Structure 1
């Protein structure tokens, strides 16, 4: 009987070539990991959208003109886009756990300090810092999920991405009330303390990988991401998709109010149903993409085409009842594609470079978020047509679906196995890919 040396034992205690415990039975602790990164993303997004829920009354009390209320949002997104690129590289250099902690700590401090804002300049600077901090948590979360969930990442990313939709609901339902009861300054201070405390929880509970962390990404590998045809196409497709999603979020309520005289409260309840559809669809479509392994491209294309079609349908609605019926269906397809696109990004890059790839693609995606509201506003101002404005939004997902047609179907990098050599185990060669 051949003797197996201790050097040939995998970290799971199995012999070379034998399936590791994480492959045969994924660790249950990964669900704790998923909750930690999900809640961090949720808090980060609540911090991001909190200002929009109180901007009108608070801006008036600070003496900020209506035209300048959006300056804080602009400041945040300037920092956010920059941080996505830097945070992605940092994630693949020092690990997702450290990056997420380093993102949450300054975000908590900056959000707390925003409660002391008394003028436009101070608020702009603090929102810029908040954006620079918050932009790193997304890539860190994607990297960690890719390491822990492997082939099951679709449903995990579907749950992870519900944080953004749920954060909008939470922020709109809590921040204005807290502001009325305790003052808007204290509302931001509470959010800052909560974010800072969750960074401490993250320090104790979060782990980068179920096995040995992957090695540091090299400059050559980083340059390879920029030359990765699939990643570039996914970045452009996501930009078109978010053109429709964020554009509708920015203008949906205002268009219903201006065109049909629907009250802001009723328009808000219609948008709430839009968010409910999104919360349900994200994990569902993520799960479907896992079941249809290898068909994520088809799922995302179909979802984007349905998204464009539902925008056109919504543009033909004219009564409150019609809006109530269509809104949840529109929300489902307006957000459902996100976990499927994220899963494609991690497969195209491989687990080792998942952080940098997520940061790079999300930075491009967010450009669609910034541009759509401007163009839709110009179209509506020129035409005063509700349907034309919605068709302008529909152009984004149509372009995204077309671009996805050119994404090549290649073996996922993180599923490729290098041939084993004597004395080496699969786990030691591919430490983050034992699922």
Structure 2
């Protein structure tokens, strides 16, 4: 039940985030925003999201995961509804930042809550299921939003998903409680040394930088692919949404499967991550070289596997690179840094496409992220999988 509700909460914040992709062209037209400036909305969202990720672990430790998850979902849902009613570009950008500020807290809170219910030796598959929510959120948004826009305008999708997020947050608050598995908590006196220990950890820093590159490609595609296909090749909004839905759908199964396979075969994650990132680079370039709907549909599922399935592997690598007392803080800090790729890529891709009007140039810009990411993974020294310990 706890895994289901954590997964559902992460799915809804992912739906909220992914709604922008299929809605962006219509929002831009309604608010008189030029194409190159549409990335400002996504960047504002991710600025709030990164800040929230950085603070989410602290909030979960201080106030509890249940409260943090509830505030995250209810706040994000409420401001999604506010965005659906906005008529000003400036206000819309500010509201997107607030949506991100609430939504980002649910990652650390979900990880902390799941860790209180599942033993360490179970977390590989559990985190695969949990992180599959980001892919499913993209599927739902791209499958539903174009039809909602066609029938009743872009405002409806923000009102609908915002309301559902609020309902899920309330249900979670009423039902979920912390579990029986507890971990070590650092005392206030040790918090100062915690940050220094993370910064000095060469392998953790490399993993954070590599994840930044991966997220650059993944969330750059999610943010811009609909608009690029519509503007670059005249694909209809509904068809573009279907292509992105296919892109994300394969990862819904792929993430748990990759996590399970890695756990079953000795817990090695570095080499599979490098292989998947390499495939990501190739498929982004191939996708950018295409010019027809059939080709987009053929490549989309492979691209989706590559764009998402490195994530459970690098999430599972984090505990291998730090002491037990630093696992929570390291996970939150890494995720916050990974999300910086999501902050910067919308503006970068928008600028490249505006300057070149080239579909391929935009996708080459996206592919630079995972390429750098796989190169940074190479020198990481992967530790042996930690032996599970009994907790009181």
- Band of TM-score, shorter chain: 0.7 to 0.9
2:10 aligned with 1:37: no
**Hey, what does 1:203 align to over in structure 2?**
173
Contact 1:146 1:354 in 2 (8 A): no
Q: How does 1:159-174 map to 2 (within 5 A)?
A: 159-174=129-144
- Is the alpha carbon distance of 1:246 and 1:152 closer, same or farther for their aligned partners in structure 2, counting shifts above 3 Å? same
**Hey, what does 1:427 align to over in structure 2?**
391
Residue number among 82, 87, 91 corresponding to 1:113 in the alignment: 82
> Distance in 2 between the 1:173 and 1:286 partners?
26
Q: Deviations over 1:1-60 (max 9, x none)?
A: xxxxxxxxxxxxxxxxxxxxxxxxxxxxxxx21111110011112222334443444454
Contact 1:350 1:412 in 2 (8 A): no
Deviation, 1:232, is: 1.2
> Distance in 1 between the 2:366 and 2:90 partners?
33
Contact 1:214 1:352 in 2 (8 A): yes
Farther off after superposition, 283-292 or 312-321: 312-321
Farther off after superposition, 395-404 or 367-376: 367-376
Q: Deviations over 1:104-136 (max 9, x none)?
A: 232233233334434334433332221111111
2:321 aligned with 1:348: yes
**Hey, what does 2:344 align to over in structure 1?**
371
Number of equivalences = 388
RMSD: 3.1
> Distance in 2 between the 1:385 and 1:57 partners?
21
**Hey, what does 1:84 align to over in structure 2?**
53
TM-score after normalising by structure 1 = 0.78
2:111 aligned with 1:150: no
Q: Deviations over 1:297-348 (max 9, x none)?
A: 1211111122222233334444443333222111111111111111112443
> Distance in 1 between the 2:353 and 2:162 partners?
38
> Which protein shows a greater Rg?
1
Q: How does 1:23-62 map to 2 (within 5 A)?
A: 32-62=1-31
> Distance in 2 between the 1:111 and 1:245 partners?
22
**Hey, what does 1:333 align to over in structure 2?**
306
Unaligned runs of 5+ in 1: 1-31, 418-425, 429-435
TM-score after normalising by structure 2 = 0.85
Deviation, 1:154, is: 2.1
> Distance in 2 between the 1:58 and 1:317 partners?
27
> Distance in 1 between the 2:349 and 2:149 partners?
31
Contact 1:36 1:205 in 2 (8 A): no
- Is the alpha carbon distance of 1:265 and 1:172 closer, same or farther for their aligned partners in structure 2, counting shifts above 3 Å? closer
> Distance in 1 between the 2:119 and 2:239 partners?
40
Q: Secondary structure at the match of 2:383?
A: coil
Contact 1:53 1:175 in 2 (8 A): yes
Q: Secondary structure at the match of 1:427?
A: coil
- Is the alpha carbon distance of 1:102 and 1:117 closer, same or farther for their aligned partners in structure 2, counting shifts above 3 Å? same
Unaligned runs of 5+ in 2: none
Farther off after superposition, 306-315 or 330-339: 306-315
Q: How does 1:29-428 map to 2 (within 5 A)?
A: 32-62=1-31, 69-147=38-116, 148-178=118-148, 185=155, 187-212=157-182, 214-216=184-186, 218=188, 219=191, 220-256=193-229, 260-349=233-322, 352-380=325-353, 386-411=359-384, 415=387, 426-428=390-392
Q: Deviations over 1:254-303 (max 9, x none)?
A: 54555555544444433332122222321221111111233111211111
Farther off after superposition, 264-273 or 81-90: 264-273
Deviation, 1:368, is: 1.8
- Is the alpha carbon distance of 1:402 and 1:92 closer, same or farther for their aligned partners in structure 2, counting shifts above 3 Å? farther
- Is the alpha carbon distance of 1:404 and 1:387 closer, same or farther for their aligned partners in structure 2, counting shifts above 3 Å? same
Contact 1:162 1:279 in 2 (8 A): yes
- Is the alpha carbon distance of 1:217 and 1:323 closer, same or farther for their aligned partners in structure 2, counting shifts above 3 Å? farther
